[in-house]
Amino acid sequence: MTPLGLLFALLAAAFLGTILMGRPGQPRRGTASGSGSALAGFLLGPTLLGVVTPAVVDLFTPLAQVGLGWLALILGLDYGYVDRRRIAPIRRAAGGLAGALALALVAAVAFVILRRLQPTGLPWNQDARTWIEAGGIGAACAETTRLSIRWVADRIHAEGPLTELLTDISDADDLVPMLLCGGLFVLEPPAGLRWGAHPALLWTGQLVLGAAIGVITALLLAREFRSQSLWGVLFGTSTVAIGLAVRADLSVLTVAFAMGVGLSHVSAHRQALRALVVPVENPLRLPALLLAGARIDLAAVPFLAWIVPAVLAARVASKVLVAACLALLSPAARKAGPWLAPGLLACGPTALSIGLAFALRFPGPIGDTVLVCAAASTLLGELVAPASLKRGLRHAGEAAPQTGSQPMVRLAT
């Protein structure tokens, strides 16, 4: 079988496996962060088995772009909501600040380390490529994934103010990294664009493009909502948004996220749209993360042994700060004690999506470094966060008592 056929078959097998293993009404299986397919991709990729070569992975770039775009679209559509519940503005702001704090701290550490290890001779404020790399690492390491929170809550049947707070914060902390990606992508003038423009203008352009296509979708769906053209319209507009972003070397994540937010705020059918697209998230996440894993090439990352530990240390520090702030402001968070900070280290699909987006837009050391840092953060989170979260929620008294089998209270995903 050709490598292309092999990858098709792997994608199909992995995809079908997920479908067959997951059952409605049961907690999601697999890793807490939902990033298991990235591990499978890493095993098959150039670092270990070498079954899937970079050339083969490149063939799937359009598929990866569509996957990334749809994941960002779903994030945007769901931004500010947990299922049907609207997240309170104060919590949205808190989530945004938590994401921004983690991003800023990790990016700052990465910037300093990169400037030391790879001196460019440029003044710090003109060193665009280092800013892009450090910013990308920061964006990829900013989130606390809502998937891990829900995974843990489902398993220990947790319910209460801390569970809700963590769910809200983890849902809202994607805003800053998603928006920042657009800014970082245009710091280096996009090669695809004929007309040069100030990065701020291009960044705003991405947001406007995404939001405008979101509004267009809402307009079309307002007319079509009860017709069978629904999927066609949604698929069409999202593909136009993703396609235009790819063509112009802009950030697919930012444009699609803005589209989701625009659509969510303008359309009267947000809940129905959410019900339509959320079931697609898992099947999309799987191939996108598989491709992200297959793109990881440890040998291609310069100064790996310095950068990755420094970035992880900065991420831990940032989450300790966030946990401390939460403990100061929320009595429920205080009850969780020292387990809260490591619990916030969970990250996964969003981090890896950002890593993959950078790897596609900036092939070479920048993209490889951002992707590897995202993968390292995900691995650390997977090892540390679920157990810590369980302990924290138990300390806070929100886990159901362990009395054998009982009906499950499940947070719907």
Question: At 190, is the secondary structure helix, strand, or coil?
Answer: coil
Q: How many CB atoms lie within 10 A of CB 394?
A: 17
247 binds other proteins (CB under 8 A): yes
Is residue 117 close enough to count as binding other proteins by CB under 8 A? no
Among 108, 219, 321, 400, contact with other proteins (rule: CB under 8 A): 219
Of 219 and 325, nearer to other proteins (C-beta) is: 219
CA distance 151 to 59: 33
Q: Which stretch binds other proteins (CB under 8 A): 12-20, 31-39, 110-118, 291-299?
A: 12-20
Residues 6+ apart with CB under 8 A from 171: 78, 79, 80, 81, 82, 87, 95, 146
Classify residue 307 as left (phi > 0), alpha (psi -120 to 50) or beta. alpha
Between CA 336 and CA 391 the distance in angstroms is 8
Q: What share of the chain is helix, strand, coil (3-state, %, to 5)?
A: 75, 0, 25
d(CA 291, CA 2): 17
- C-alpha distances in Å from residue 197, one per residue of 1, 79, 127, 187: 47, 30, 18, 10
Q: Which of 228, 402, 403, 405 binds other proteins (CB under 8 A)?
A: 228
Of 12 and 408, the one with the shorter C-beta distance to other proteins is: 12
Residue 340 or 359 with smaller CB distance to other proteins: 359
Task: Count CB-CB contacts under 10 A for residue 84.
Answer: 10
Between 225 and 303, CB nearer to other proteins: 225
Min dist. Cβ of residue 13 to other proteins (A): 9
Length in residues, the chain: 413
Interaction of residue 413 with other proteins, rule CB under 8 A: no
Stretch that binds other proteins, among 18-26, 70-78, 102-110, 165-173 (CB under 8 A): 18-26
How crowded is residue 363: how many other Cβ atoms within 10 Å of its Cβ?
A: 14
> Which of the residues 178 through 207 are near other proteins (CB under 8 A)?
191-195
Is 85 among the residues that bind other proteins (CB under 8 A)?
A: no
Pick the stretch among 223-231, 330-338, 339-347, 376-384 that binds other proteins (CB under 8 A). 223-231
Q: Of the candidates 53, 118, 239, 330, which one interacts with other proteins according to CB under 8 A? A: 239
Q: Which is nearer to other proteins, 271 or 406 (CB)?
A: 271
In the complex, least distance from residue 213 CB atom to other proteins, rounded to whole angstroms: 8
If one asks whether residue 66 binds other proteins (CB under 8 A), the answer comes out as yes
The dihedral built from the CA positions of residue 128, 212, 138 and 361, taken in this order, carries a sign that is: negative
- Say whether residue 3 binds other proteins (CB under 8 A): no
- By C-beta, is 216 or 359 nearer to other proteins? 216
Contact with other proteins (CB under 8 A) among 57, 77, 181, 248: 248
Contact (CB, 8 A) for 241 and 69: yes
d(CA 197, CA 229): 38
Among residues 169, 211, 246, 291, which is the contact residue for other proteins, using CB under 8 A? Answer: 246
* Binding of residue 233 to other proteins (CB under 8 A): yes
236 binds other proteins (CB under 8 A): yes
Task: Give every CB contact of residue 135 below 8 A, 6+ residues apart in sequence.
Answer: 103, 107, 180, 183, 184, 187
Write out the two tokens for 301: 């990352």
100 CB-near residues (< 8 Å, 6+ apart)? 142, 176
Report if residue 384 touches other proteins, rule: CB under 8 A: no
Residues 277 to 336 in contact with other proteins, rule: CB under 8 A: 278-280, 283
49 binds other proteins (CB under 8 A): no
Phi, psi of 194 (to 5 degrees): -75, -40
- Whether residue 11 contacts residue 41, with contact meaning beta carbons closer than 8 Å, is answered with no
Segment lying near other proteins (by CB under 8 A), choices 37-45, 47-55, 217-225, 290-298: 217-225
Locate tokens 């939902």: which residue? 34
Distance CA 342, CA 238 (A): 36
How many residues bind to other proteins according to rule CB under 8 A?
A: 55
Smallest distance, Å, CB 322 to other proteins? 34
Interface pick for other proteins out of 43, 112, 240, 320 (rule CB under 8 A): 240
Residues found near other proteins in the complex (CB under 8 A) = 4-5, 8-9, 11-12, 15-16, 19-20, 24, 62, 65-66, 191-195, 209, 212, 216, 219-220, 223, 225-233, 235-244, 246-248, 269, 272, 275-276, 278-280, 283
